[in-house]
Amino acid sequence: MQSVRDRIQQVPRKAWLKAGIWGSLYAVFVVWVAWGDWKSLAWLALLPHIIDALTTKFVNYGWWRKYRPAAKDEAPNPHENKVLYTVFSWIDAIVFALVAVYFINLYIFQNYQIPSSSLEKTLRVGDFLFVSKMAYGPRVPNTPLSMPLVQHTFPAALGGGKSYIEKPQWAYKRLAGWTEPQKGDIVVFNFPAGDTVCEKMQNPDYYTLCHYYGKEAVHSRKDVFGNIITRPVDRRENYVKRCVGTPGDSLQIINNIIFINGISEPMRDGKQYNYFVRTDGHLLTNTYLDKIGVSKDDRVTIESGLYHFPLTVEMKAELQKNPHVLGIEIEPETNGGEVYPLGHNSWTRDNYGPIYIPKRGDTLRITEENYWVYARIANAYEHKPMAIGEDYVFEMNYYWMMGDNRHNSADSRYWGFVPEDHIVGRPVFIWLSIEKDHPWLHGHIRWDRLGQNAMR
């Protein structure tokens, strides 16, 4: 039997170099994950196995290779088993690909598809984004044991069910990025109100359902709402909005204009609001609405000569040139419904605040007037007590996110602040764009959008 010393001496230098590089990277990764929670250093127990797999191979990880069919110019292999060799070749390749995708998806970049019109006309439904995890710094996953490319639930074709194992769970930690979310950035983040979910009715969110239907009804009517489940931060739905307020800012919305620290937001292409458009009875055809940029899903005909759809400044100006258009009126603020914190203010989506966006380390005196604005931070994000008449110290930075399609966006006006531990990444560019309303050979792929900067 070959001795340990002989086995070590037979390992090529390149193999030791390769093992040293990968072993060092793995050790640094484990220490980073374990920082402040040293129990996680137990993962270093896998380091000898990594070194052995790349060098001495005392554990025969590639045992299945002995079944490889012999080539034409080779002697027959007495262990040859083509079926077994093929099956394990595929398993080996798939496992390697899944591990590679897992780490790339967690720490480098992620694909994201725009599902709704909340950022029209900046980002459109059907845009596929390359989202950088490095820009704001990659997070340690809360749930490290999860299936790559599946957010929280397997597709029905694969049986459904959770795509992650809840234990172990790691505390929030983030590597330093190139920057932090800035005002004007488009940001991908985990939905803050997605910590608790009704399986049969996930939109609107659980807290909104409890507000309108009552908590008892939501929990008891499983035929309507389904089971109530909870999700860790990194398994909540991914949302994409524009950051309009950063930690330490004071925000107020007056007649649809955002004011940050008393200064109105800059003009931005693509921002739009809902309007009622009245004509002299003339029909606004689909061809005409296509031309001025009104999406097919947004077109609503209320009655003959009366329409409802969102418009940018440029689209509104184009409509005003139409001799058949008699008037264009913005949608009333009452159409937006109640806003955050539900049941505890008289604000609307168009006239909101003022509200202060907390910064890590800030101390704020909690009053009867502001308690409900910040109670969710203490209860759901920082998990510590908050009391009226006492000072509260914030442990995280918070952000205010809104869609450019201001009257068709479920955003911070409805569910509040976005904590820093929910930040996923920053879109870099559009790598594919699909127009579902057009056939394949007639504009189904929006070629002009491919490669565009997603941070416009």
The residue to which tokens 């458009």 are assigned:
277
Does the CA dihedral 375-377-383-389 come out positive or negative? Answer: negative
Q: How far is CA 335 from CA 205, 275, 338, 402, in A?
A: 19, 11, 9, 17
Which pLDDT score, from 0 to 100, does residue 116 have? 84
Per the CB < 8 A criterion, the answer to whether 107 and 138 are in contact is yes
pTM: 0.88
Q: How far is CA 227 from CA 10, 152, 215, in A?
A: 59, 15, 13
| Tally: H helices and E strands in the chain | 11, 19
Which pLDDT score, from 0 to 100, does residue 193 have? 96
Q: Which of 354, 35, 300, 69 is nearest to 175 (CA)?
A: 35
Strands 325-330 and 300-303, sheet pairing: unpaired
Amino acid at 258: I
CA atoms within 13 A of residue 377's CA, in its CB half-sphere? 28
Please give, one letter per residue, the 3-state secondary structure of 124-146.
CCCEEEEEECCCCCCECCCCCCE
Series of mean pLDDT values for 10-residue runs along the chain (456 residues): 76 92 90 74 89 88 84 83 90 88 87 86 89 92 89 86 90 89 96 95 94 96 95 95 97 97 89 96 92 89 95 94 96 95 95 97 96 97 97 98 95 97 95 84 85 84
Q: How many angstroms separate the CA atoms of 71 and 78, rounded?
A: 13
Per the CB < 8 A criterion, the answer to whether 411 and 401 are in contact is yes
Which pLDDT score, from 0 to 100, does residue 2 have? 60
